[in-house]
Every structure is written in structure tokens, then in C-alpha cells.
């Protein structure tokens, strides 16, 4: 009798290599992914200064150029308060993320959805975290693609000064995208370190150009500057207030790669990754403050409510300086990691160069 029951249980048990999803149904198991191949944690040898310039690159993007416009929607008092509070809250929440990276002894949460799954459960964590993360990251990729095209167009117009044929913005966006096709093939965070450093230097440079050129404009202009709110009606002021808050929030949206940046730093029980990561964060946010506050306050002081959504478009002189700044406005690695992991685990693609080439090219092209 016991032998019969054992045989029956063996017959009903899933065969090796199968995973029961419900009674009478089975599904193939997920294909394992070689960790050394994945984009986020393929190499863990970064230092604190890597964390510093990666965070500067993630935070100081094209959004900083819209801060004077946000100030014109909020006004001096509210604008200064919102800018300072946003910086403080961002540093505080980033400190929390750094601490939670290794909150469970012996385990590292290298991705946002892994931390979400630990907090909310395997399935619910994915549904809570992944859609929000994708909205932020894909949205940033799209905005930066468009802004890059606008900067190329501004550079073209300033250099040619009416001597060249007019070229529509979509063509400049495609020119900018052609560079992203190449850069997107870099496999992981370690391979983009030099590019990230250059981008951080460029970010600091074009923000400095923006506020220095604004000071020069203010000093050389005798025109009166209007600091009244852009809108004149109550509904307009409400919508502008919400729009200004959105512009500031978008500018501080660099947290989407914090865990992934920390994943590149080695960690041991004696020297956890949070120590060099936090050191890099402190340095990065001092630089970020030195970029954000002068652009926002000086840009608004120089132009008032006549400033454009991108202050580099508002600036006219000196032409050579503005042209250089627009050329400098030139991070999708977590999205690549997510796409490639799903393709390998769920659809059984082989993790190789061909998969990267096709998946990333399709993403950038779309």
C-alpha cells in the first residue's frame, strides 16, 4: 500500500525541469541569467568617486535648464523655498536608499524592483515599482533625446546665423539619436564610466555657462525685469504653480539609478558599500547644489518672467559661448538590464552580443 502511494505521488509530482503553476498545468522554469553578463552588477570594482560623477550625471541633466522658468511660475519666495526643500528631501531619501541597499545581511538589492519585492512581496512589488520606474526612466530618455536635438538646432542656428538652410527639429533629434545608437551598446555601468565623467564635466560646464551668461546679460542690459508671476488669472496661477512644482520634481528625478550605481561598488562585512557610496553622494550633491541654485536664481534674476523653458534658448550673447553650451547638452542602463533579463528568463534568448545589439537598438529607435 505504501509503495502504491509513493508511486502515485511520484506520478503526480512535476517532472524535473518543470514548474507547476496550477493543478494539471505546468510551465517551463525561468532560464537563469549569468550575473557577470547583466548590465547592472557585472562588475563590482567601482570607487567612491565613480558614485560621485555617476550621481552628478544622473541628476544634472537638461532639466536644470528649466529651473529659471519654474521660478517664474512660482515667484521668489515660493521658488527659493521649493528649491531648497527639494534638495534637502532628495539628499535625505537618497541616504535612505543607500542604507537599504544592504538592509538584509548577506544580500544586496541591486535594483529597485528587488527592494520592492522584499517590501511588498514577489508579485505585488513588481507591479508597484516597475511601472513607476519605467515611466520615470523612459520619460527621461525621451525628454533628453528631444532636448539634445533642440541643443543641436540652437548650435546650428547660432553658428550659421542665417547663412545655412533651415533644418527642422526632427532631423536634429535623429542626428542626436544616431549617437545614442552607438553609446547604448556599451554593456554595463563600468564601461560608461569615462563617458559619465565627461557628461558630468559637461553638465557642470553648461550650467556654469548658463548663469554666467545670465549675469553678463543683466549687467549689460538697462531694460526693467518683470518678476511678477507669469499668469494673471487665478486658474492660470494655480496651473503654473503645479507646473513649477513638476519642473522642480523632474529636475530632482535622479534617484532612479541610485541602487544600480551602488551595485557597482564592492562590499564586505568590514567595508560595506554604503560607506564609499555615501561619500560619493555627499560630494555629488555639493556639486549639484552649485549647479542648480545659481542657474535657477540667477537666471530668474536676469530675465524674470520672460525667460524661456530652456534658458539656453533665451540666451543670445556671447554667441560662441552659448553655442558651446548647447553642444554640451548631450542614462537607460537600468532599462536595458530589465529588458535583457526578461528576454533571457522569460523568452529563453541566449545572453550574447547579438541580443544586446538588437534589443537596445530597437529601444533607442522606438
Please state, for a pLDDT cut of 70, what percent of the chain lies above it.
Answer: 77
d(CA 56, CA 34): 30
HSE of 177 in the Cβ direction (CA atoms, 13 Å)?
18
Q: CA 126, CA 340: separation in Å to the nearest integer?
A: 16
CA dist 63 and 239 (Å) reads: 19
Cell of 364: 533607442
Quote the CA–CA distance of 129 and 336 in Å, as a whole number. 16
Reported as a single tens digit per residue, the pLDDT across 13-57 is 334 444 433 443 344 455 555 555 555 555 677 788 888 888 887
Of the pLDDT bands very low, low, confident and very high (cuts 50, 70, 90), residue 361 is confident
* Helix 319-328 and helix 122-160, axial crossing angle in degrees, nearest 10: 150
In a domain, 294, yes or no: yes
Q: Does residue 228 surpass a pLDDT of 60?
A: yes
76 domain-assigned:
yes
**What does the alpha-carbon distance between residue 264 and residue 333 come to, in Å, rounded to a whole number?**
12
Q: What is the mean pLDDT of residues 265-290?
A: 90
Instruction: Give the whole-angstrom CA distance, residue 187 versus residue 204.
Output: 26
For residue 357, is it within any domain? no
Mean pLDDT of the residues in the chain: 77
- For the chain, how many structural domains are there in total? 1
Whether residue 285 is contained in a domain is answered as yes
Q: Tens digits of per-residue pLDDT, 235-256?
A: 999 999 999 998 898 888 767 7
Q: Which residues contact 248 (CB under 8 A, 6 or more apart)?
A: 67, 70, 82, 83, 86
pLDDT: which is higher, 25 or 335: 335
**Of 172 and 21, the one with more pLDDT:** 172
What's the sign of the alpha-carbon dihedral 359, 362, 363, 364? Answer: positive
In a domain, residue 303? The reply is: yes
In a domain, 358, yes or no: no
Domain assignment present for 249: yes
Instruction: Report the C-alpha gap between 88 and 82 in whole angstroms.
Output: 10
Unique residue bearing C-alpha cell 565623467? 197
Tell me the C-alpha to C-alpha distance, in Å, between residue 37 and each of 172, 257, 341, 351, 355. 34, 19, 10, 7, 12
**pLDDT exceeds 90 at position 88:** yes
User: 278-281 — which CB contacts under 8 Å span 24+ positions?
Assistant: 278/95, 278/98, 279/48, 279/51, 279/52, 280/48, 280/49, 280/50, 280/51, 280/52, 280/54, 280/55, 281/51, 281/52, 281/55, 281/91, 281/94, 281/95, 281/98
Q: Cis bond leading into 44, ω under 30°?
A: no
User: What is the rounded distance in angstroms from the CA atom of residue 30 to the CA atom of residue 137?
Assistant: 26
Q: Where are the beta strands (DSSP E) in the chain?
A: 19-22, 25-27
Q: 336 and 184 in contact (C-beta within 8 Å)?
A: yes
Give ∠ CA 169-172-177 in degrees, rounded to 5: 125
Pairing of strands 25-27, 19-22: antiparallel
- Cα–Cα distance, 294 to 76 (Å, whole number): 14
**Does 31 reside within a domain?**
no
Burial class (CB in 10 A: 0-12, 13-18, 19+), 72: buried
pLDDT tens digits for range 92-148 = 999 998 999 888 888 888 888 888 889 899 889 889 888 888 887 777 777 777 777
The pLDDT confidence band at residue 80, using thresholds 50, 70 and 90, is: very high
Tell me which residue range forms the domain holding 78.
42-331
Q: What is the pLDDT of residue 141?
A: 74
Strand partners, 318: none
- Mean pLDDT comparison of 7-11, 44-48, 283-287, highest-scoring range: 283-287
Amino acid at each position: 500500500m505504501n509503495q502504491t502511494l509513493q508511486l502515485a505521488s511520484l506520478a503526480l509530482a512535476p517532472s524535473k525541469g518543470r514548474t507547476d503553476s496550477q493543478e494539471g498545468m505546468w510551465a517551463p522554469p525561468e532560464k537563469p541569467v549569468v550575473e557577470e553578463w547583466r548590465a547592472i552588477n557585472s562588475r563590482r570594482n567601482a570607487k567612491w568617486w565613480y558614485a560621485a560623477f555617476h550621481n552628478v550625471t544622473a541628476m544634472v541633466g537638461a532639466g536644470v535648464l528649466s529651473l529659471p522658468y519654474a521660478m517664474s511660475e512660482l515667484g521668489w519666495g515660493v521658488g527659493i523655498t521649493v528649491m531648497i526643500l527639494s534638495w534637502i528631501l532628495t539628499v535625505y531619501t537618497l541616504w535612505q536608499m543607500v542604507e537599504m541597499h544592504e538592509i538584509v545581511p548577506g544580500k544586496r538589492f541591486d535594483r529597485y524592483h528587488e527592494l520592492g519585492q522584499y517590501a511588498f512581496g514577489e508579485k505585488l512589488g513588481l507591479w508597484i515599482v516597475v511601472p513607476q520606474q519605467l515611466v520615470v526612466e523612459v520619460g527621461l530618455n525621451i525628454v533628453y533625446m528631444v532636448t539634445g536635438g533642440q541643443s543641436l538646432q540652437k548650435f546650428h542656428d547660432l553658428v550659421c546665423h542665417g547663412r545655412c538652410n533651415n533644418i527642422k527639429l526632427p532631423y536634429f533629434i535623429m542626428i542626436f539619436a544616431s549617437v545614442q545608437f552607438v553609446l547604448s551598446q556599451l554593456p554595463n555601468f563600468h564601461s560608461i564610466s569615462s563617458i559619465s565623467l565627461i557628461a558630468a564635466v559637461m553638465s557642470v560646464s553648461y550650467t556654469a555657462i548658463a548663469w554666467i551668461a545670465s549675469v553678463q546679460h543683466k549687467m549689460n542690459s538697462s531694460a526693467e525685469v518683470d518678476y511678477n508671476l507669469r499668469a494673471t488669472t487665478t486658474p492660470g496661477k494655480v496651473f503654473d504653480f503645479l507646473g513649477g512644482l513638476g519642473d522642480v520634481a523632474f529636475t530632482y528625478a535622479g534617484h532612479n539609478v541610485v541602487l544600480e550605481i551602488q551595485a557597482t561598488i564592492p562590499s564586505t562585512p568590514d567595508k560595506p558599500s554604503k560607506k564609499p557610496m555615501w561619500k560619493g553622494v555627499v560630494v555629488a550633491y555639493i556639486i549639484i547644489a552649485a549647479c542648480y541654485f545659481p542657474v535657477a536664481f540667477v537666471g530668474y534674476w536676469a530675465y524674470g518672467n520672460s525667460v524661456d523653458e530652456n534658458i539656453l534658448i533665451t540666451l543670445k550673447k556671447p554667441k560662441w559661448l552659448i553655442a558651446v553650451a548647447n553642444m554640451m547638452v548631450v542614462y537607460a542602463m537600468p532599462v536595458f538590464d530589465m529588458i535583457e533579463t526578461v528576454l533571457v528568463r522569460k523568452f529563453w534568448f541566449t545572453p550574447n552580443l547579438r541580443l544586446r545589439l538588437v534589443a537596445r537598438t530597437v529601444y533607442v529607435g522606438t
